[in-house]
């Protein structure tokens, strides 16, 4: 039987895909100059002038905005969407655990991803996965490698599956045809008009009810 592992004990996540990058790598510290800029007195209201010839732009007349709004509507109303899939590192997807002196130091999952303690991650260091491995095969390779580097043992989980039983996750396409975008935009407009009509109807009904109450009280 596998021993329980709290999420706090395994803070280091190693994704199944070696191409995953740190999303915060591109962040730069904010310069102190920006603080100085915000402290400026600004432009006096008396010097502000109205824009000449400015015209409101409809989303329907802006191709980029039109397609962006339609794409978001399609993604929010994905008719092919099902119940959220179980995450790769869910307990029911556990492939194996690596133990050192009876303590769990790493957990491998059927999709190939793994979690481990900070101490184990520091000892393993940068580890390049073999090309071509994925799913349970990658999980097995990682488990064996971790156990060898950490001086531990591998315990296969009862929830482990074979490579033939594994189904890779399908990536959802965000590419839509011109017909889909145009139809989505029209549907979005129809939804907005319907919602506006419902709000107006509710408002008029509340006003009518308020007027009737006033007459009765008079």
Residue 183: predicted pLDDT: 86
Nearest to 114 by CA among 200, 16, 37, 36: 16
State the Cα–Cα distance between residues 73 and 68, nearest whole angstrom.
9
- What residues contact residue 104 under an 8 Å CB cut-off, 6+ apart? 3, 5, 9, 10, 97, 98
Helix (H) or strand (E) holding 13: strand 12-14
pLDDT digits (tens, 9 = 90+) for 178-187: 888 888 888 8
* Tokens 């008029």 belong to residue: 204
Residue 190: predicted pLDDT: 86
In residues, how long is the chain? 218
- Of the pLDDT bands very low, low, confident and very high (cuts 50, 70, 90), residue 212 is low
* Tokens 């008079």 belong to residue: 218
Q: 22 or 151, which is more confident?
A: 151
pLDDT digits (tens, 9 = 90+) for 55-67: 666 666 677 777 7
* Bridge partners for 11 per DSSP: none
Q: Could you tell me if 138 and 113 are in contact, meaning their C-beta atoms sit under 8 angstroms apart?
A: no
pLDDT digits (tens, 9 = 90+) for 92-148: 999 999 999 999 999 999 999 999 999 999 999 888 999 999 999 999 999 999 999
Residue 44: predicted pLDDT: 74
C-alpha distances in Å from residue 46, one per residue of 40, 49, 51: 17, 8, 14
Residue 177: predicted pLDDT: 80
Residue 179: predicted pLDDT: 85
Residue 136: predicted pLDDT: 95
Is it the case that residue 188 has pLDDT exceeding 80?
yes
pLDDT digits (tens, 9 = 90+) for 10-53: 556 777 765 544 444 444 444 444 444 445 556 776 776 766 66
**Lookup: tokens for 196:** 């506006």
Counting DSSP H helices and E strands in the chain, the numbers are 5, 5
Average pLDDT for 73-89:
63
Q: Locate the DSSP E strands across 16-163.
A: 94-100, 103-109, 114-116, 153-156
Residue 213: predicted pLDDT: 59
State the Cα–Cα distance between residues 142 and 175, nearest whole angstrom.
35
């Amino acid at each position: 039987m596998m021993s329980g592992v709290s999420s706090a004990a395994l803070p280091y996540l190693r994704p199944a895909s070696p191409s995953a990058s740190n999303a915060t790598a591109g962040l730069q510290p904010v310069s102190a100059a920006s603080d100085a800029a915000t402290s400026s007195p600004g432009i006096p209201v008396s010097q502000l002038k109205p824009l000449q010839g400015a015209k409101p732009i409809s989303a329907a007349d802006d191709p980029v905005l039109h397609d962006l709004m339609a794409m978001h509507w399609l993604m929010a109303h994905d008719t092919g969407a099902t119940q959220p899939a179980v995450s790769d590192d869910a307990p029911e997807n556990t492939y194996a655990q690596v133990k050192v002196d009876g303590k769990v130091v790493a957990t491998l999952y059927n999709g190939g991803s793994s979690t481990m303690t900070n101490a184990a991650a520091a000892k393993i260091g940068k580890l390049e996965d073999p090309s071509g491995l994925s799913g349970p095969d990658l999980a097995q390779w990682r488990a064996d490698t971790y156990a060898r580097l950490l001086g531990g043992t591998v315990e296969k989980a009862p929830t482990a599956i074979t490579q033939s039983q594994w189904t890779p996750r399908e990536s959802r396409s965000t590419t839509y045809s011109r017909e889909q975008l145009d139809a989505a935009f029209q549907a979005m407009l129809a939804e907005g008009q319907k919602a506006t009509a419902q709000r107006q109807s509710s408002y008029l009904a509340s006003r009518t009810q308020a007027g009737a109450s006033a007459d009765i009280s008079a």
